[in-house]
Structure 1
């Protein structure tokens, strides 16, 4: 029986030879990056790129200090501290090959609920050049229909008057930037790493709205001094399972929270930084003048594709993305959606062959060794679908394009939100900040077929678009009469 080694700095040299590990001296690193939201994606993406850069260049200026804003972040903070902030990145290839790499770029972690002042001071420290974010779409506090800042949020109301003990990311950023300004330090860059179109622009707009309400003079300084680079990020990173941890343990390493991901990784960034940046282009990132076509392509194909499979697959009874792709009906439906509805509203992307990109997506989704649960894919759909899918529907309506495939997805979302079960009556795990509102709107469908579409914060004016409501009405009525989603999918693609 293999004896596993607990992962920490002292045990690094005792790990199995197959494990890549940091080749740089971690004790010399400065935290040039403060990252808010240390989840699986950050650890498979920005922290991975930074780890590679530290190994290749031996720079000491770009270690990462993680920040958790919520009490729920305590677990990851405790585990990272216990392991000297090391963790294993488990890269699973479609052919079954597994690469294990110990990542050392994170060198500290702070929980804001324990000491807000210490977190503000860390962000305001002169060593901090970048504050990056993975806070999910919902963390940006915008109204999906208007894209304006939501001042009705109680946490925001609290932060506007409690400057030294904030709760939201905007309260912390504003407090830290105020301290930088008052101390005569240059502003740090605020770098979003979330799946939001024009994520830098969105972050800037939301932060300035908050800051202007709190301190108009400070907001003017932020607008002039702080840079918010747009970026497109991509790496499928499913939730780590107990089985993943057991497999790692069997290979000789005890890691309390490893990260599992696919081999594919992409990061396209606009080169707009306030106070210097890491040379991530040396390890595979791409710096471009305008990230728009890249991020739109990714959001309308990969992210929308995930939602298509997530909602349709959940109703059908599939559990994972690769399980959907293994089903020829779902693979065909997804490709038809990409070809007929998503691709026609995309601008050309320099250096990208769209057919090759879509083929690669299907291959990535079908990786049998990356079990991405549909319940995770459907998390916070109310924050995702306006950008991922409804924008494509709106453009096709304006252009006279097809909406058949996407309309069925919205119909499935209605059924999903109303019934909360698959076609066989099995309960679905639905997690959404708007779950109650979605259910209330969807539950009126049998008496008012357009009830779900009355959520204007999500659907905008879709309820007023006759071409859409006619198609949607037909799909919803058929789905409620017979929740076998496969029958409707076959009708659309035949």
Structure 2
């Protein structure tokens, strides 16, 4: 028997559940990319806000291509369980904020209608870095931003809103991109200028794109996780459950085009400038995660908690955060970067989260510019070395040889070919990061940097045997 509206009464008393009348809520948010991360974070906060008395903020989720999440959630009436796990045990809560999930490739008109609906006030996104369809220079890649990208559906919805005299929308990116609100606004304007130039003045006047920073570790859900959740739910099967850590942080730029949930009443932070929080998360948490992924895989580890338990890798991750990344960040008032680094090591070590290193290693070409290369460039400007990140680059180059299996990256063909043509890691790094290389433009390695990469690469290969 599945978790669903009609089976909620069967839940054990220890399982938290929605306190509001779900059927009475209008949809106020359309969310593109309704994966595990969104369900463990923004939908979780929105459910908490409605539990606290907010209304009409139900979420219509949109999967752009794959029907998998819709097949999981729609038979459950949008209900799913968030299981917070730590060494002390688990805490379960059934979340009720998601009304339904649409598959854009199967029902495009329904997606456009959801964006255009009078009750919709926010369109949010967790489409991953590659979902923004950016070219190497950061501009919109129009070949990728086709009729199955979120740009098309949002634009068609906005055209209908303008025609109907409805208000504009808040477009809220929730992905790991520095200054993600400004980037989304610039990309949307490029798309509109090409496809619907008459809409540009209306968009500029009536829509906003606030930046956000989201911090919560959410591993991919496994069958073992689903079995554990079903046991805790009294035997009810939950195909859409997510497993996460107890910690959660959401920092949002207070720049909305209209009404919004009172997320700040349930733990989110509304601020004028997200930059310091965003940069710390990208360069410290995400930067250390990528380091542990590539170096941990090279060392034979499978999970993050195994990698950070390795003394050499823990020292490397700590060095990246405190000696390399933190020195490039101007903290916001009250933001303690040293304490943040210590807390991150403790979070990485959570033995109850089986966060696979290979999952973090995906899409390196899209992640590493903001996780590593910006830190390298900032330190290079003041003459500071970054031995930890250079070690990570060596491990990434080794990863691109197929040492950890097939490379899962939108640029996999180009990157693996480049590394195969340049077996010397110095030459491979030079070809990647200089001239017209695929990751050139953010940071240019010195000869000393290339030497350090080569030395670390040899250590990685020797350790692998």
| TM-score range for the pair, normalised by the shorter chain length | over 0.9
Instruction: Trace 1:81-92 onto structure 2 (pairs within 5 A).
Output: 81-92=74-85
Alpha-carbon displacement from aligned partner over 1:6-53 (angstroms, at most 9, x marks no partner)? 311111111111110111100001100000111000000000001111
1:246 counterpart = 2:246: no
Q: Is the CA contact 1:149–1:206 (under 8 Å) kept in the aligned structure 2?
A: yes
Shift of 1:61: 1.4
Q: Is the CA contact 2:295–2:392 (under 8 Å) kept in the aligned structure 1?
A: yes
Instruction: Trace 1:307-456 onto structure 2 (pairs within 5 A).
Output: 307-418=290-401, 420-421=402-403, 427-428=404-405, 430-446=407-423, 449-455=426-432, 456=437
Q: Is the CA contact 2:293–2:360 (under 8 Å) kept in the aligned structure 1?
A: yes
Structure 2 partner of 1:162:
none
Alpha-carbon displacement from aligned partner over 1:211-241 (angstroms, at most 9, x marks no partner)? 1011222122212221000010011000111
1:29 counterpart = 2:25: yes
After superposing the two structures, state which structure 1 stretch, 132-141 or 172-181, moved more. 172-181
Shift of 1:485: 6.8
Distance (Å, rounded) in 2 between the aligned partners of 1:468 and 1:220 = 47
Distance (Å, rounded) in 1 between the aligned partners of 2:259 and 2:442 = 43
Instruction: Choose from 141, 146, 153 the match for 1:150.
Output: 141
Alpha-carbon displacement from aligned partner over 1:175-203 (angstroms, at most 9, x marks no partner)? 11111112111111100111111111111
Deviating above 6 A after TM superposition, structure 1's stretches of 4 or more consecutive aligned residues are none
Structure 2 partner of 1:44:
40
Q: Is the CA contact 1:126–1:185 (under 8 Å) kept in the aligned structure 2?
A: yes
Structure 1 partner of 2:270:
287
Distance (Å, rounded) in 2 between the aligned partners of 1:296 and 1:448 = 29
Please give the secondary structure, in 2, of the residue aligned with 1:99.
Answer: strand
After superposing the two structures, state which structure 1 stretch, 233-242 or 330-339, moved more. 330-339
Shift of 1:404: 1.4
Structure 2 partner of 1:492:
none
Distance (Å, rounded) in 1 between the aligned partners of 2:287 and 2:336 = 19
Please give the secondary structure, in 1, of the residue aligned with 2:381.
Answer: helix
Report the aligned-residue RMSD. 1.7
Distance (Å, rounded) in 2 between the aligned partners of 1:332 and 1:449 = 25
Are residues 225 and 467 of structure 1, via their aligned partners in 2, closer, same or farther at CA, if it must alter by over 3 Å? Answer: farther
Shift of 1:355: 1.5
Are residues 444 and 121 of structure 1, via their aligned partners in 2, closer, same or farther at CA, if it must alter by over 3 Å? Answer: same
Please give the secondary structure, in 1, of the residue aligned with 2:138.
Answer: coil
Structure 1 partner of 2:204:
223
1:202 counterpart = 2:183: yes
Alpha-carbon displacement from aligned partner over 1:38-93 (angstroms, at most 9, x marks no partner)? 10000000000011111111x321111111110x2x12102211111100111102
Please report the TM-score for the alignment, with normalisation by the length of structure 1. Answer: 0.90
Structure 1 partner of 2:56:
61
Q: Is the CA contact 1:314–1:428 (under 8 Å) kept in the aligned structure 2?
A: no
Q: Is the CA contact 1:22–1:102 (under 8 Å) kept in the aligned structure 2?
A: yes
Shift of 1:452: 4.1
Are residues 464 and 342 of structure 1, via their aligned partners in 2, closer, same or farther at CA, if it must alter by over 3 Å? Answer: closer
Please give the secondary structure, in 2, of the residue aligned with 1:483.
Answer: helix
Please give the secondary structure, in 2, of the residue aligned with 1:458.
Answer: coil
User: Unpaired runs of 5+ in structure 2?
Assistant: none
Distance (Å, rounded) in 2 between the aligned partners of 1:196 and 1:14 = 41
Structure 2 partner of 1:490:
none
Instruction: Choose from 105, 111, 126 the match for 1:119.
Output: 111
Q: Is the CA contact 1:315–1:483 (under 8 Å) kept in the aligned structure 2?
A: no
1:78 counterpart = 2:78: no
1:139 counterpart = 2:122: no
Q: Is the CA contact 2:374–2:443 (under 8 Å) kept in the aligned structure 1?
A: no
Total equivalences in the alignment: 459
Please report the TM-score for the alignment, with normalisation by the length of structure 2. Answer: 0.95
